[in-house]
Amino acid sequence: MTSRLARFLSIVVLALLLLVWALALLPSSLGGPVTYVVVRGSSMLPIYATGDLVIVRSALQYRKGDVVAYQVPARQIGAGLVVIHRIVGTREDGYTMRGDNNNVADPWQPRSSDILGKAWMSIPGLGRVLAAIHQPVLLAALAAAVVVTMVLAWKRGPGTTEQGLPSG
């Protein structure tokens, strides 16, 4: 009875974690409220360094002083790249942006529609881990490890011996 209760509670906890993730951390590409940005470069030092993961959330409005991630506007050099910088000025047709560690403003003036969201949370160094996981060799090794673990777990399921034979 205790193992059955423990199994039930673990399923409930897992379901709650998935619900929290879906409501608060689901990427915008899947219809969620956040975008994940991996910092590259030193333009936002000392707040963010290369390899930091920054989670941004869309907001109804953005103000001077907000750190936001935006896509470089269409038909401009670097179009589509994601930049995370601070709003240093507002204009009728967009925003003036600059990295905290830069002396000059960005060459782009994104509009509200170009902004992906305002910095909400950061995890130092996690972006490096995510970048490493996306390497084909490491991804293949992880997939192989999962398959081997599943095969071994299946062979050693409840009521079997170490050789995968029925017990008793």
pLDDT in tens, 44-71: 999 999 999 999 999 999 999 999 999 9
Give the tens place of pLDDT for each residue, 120-165. 999 999 999 888 877 888 888 888 999 998 888 776 555 555 555 5
**Rounded-to-integer distance, Cα 7 and Cα 14, Å:** 11
Q: Which residues pair with 70 in a beta bridge?
A: 83, 115
Give the CATH number of domain 26-131.
Answer: 2.10.109.10
pLDDT, position 168: 54
Q: Return mean pLDDT, the chain.
A: 89
Residue 158, preceding peptide bond in cis (omega within 30° of 0): no
Q: Which residue has the higher pLDDT, 24 or 103?
A: 103
pLDDT beyond 90 at 4: no
Residue range 94-110: average pLDDT?
97
pLDDT beyond 60 at 3: yes
Residue range 71-100: average pLDDT?
95
Element (H, E) at 57: strand 53-57
**Rounded-to-integer distance, Cα 8 and Cα 23, Å:** 23
pLDDT, position 66: 98
β-sheet with 115-123: strand ranges across: 34-38, 53-57, 115-123, 67-71, 82-91, 94-98
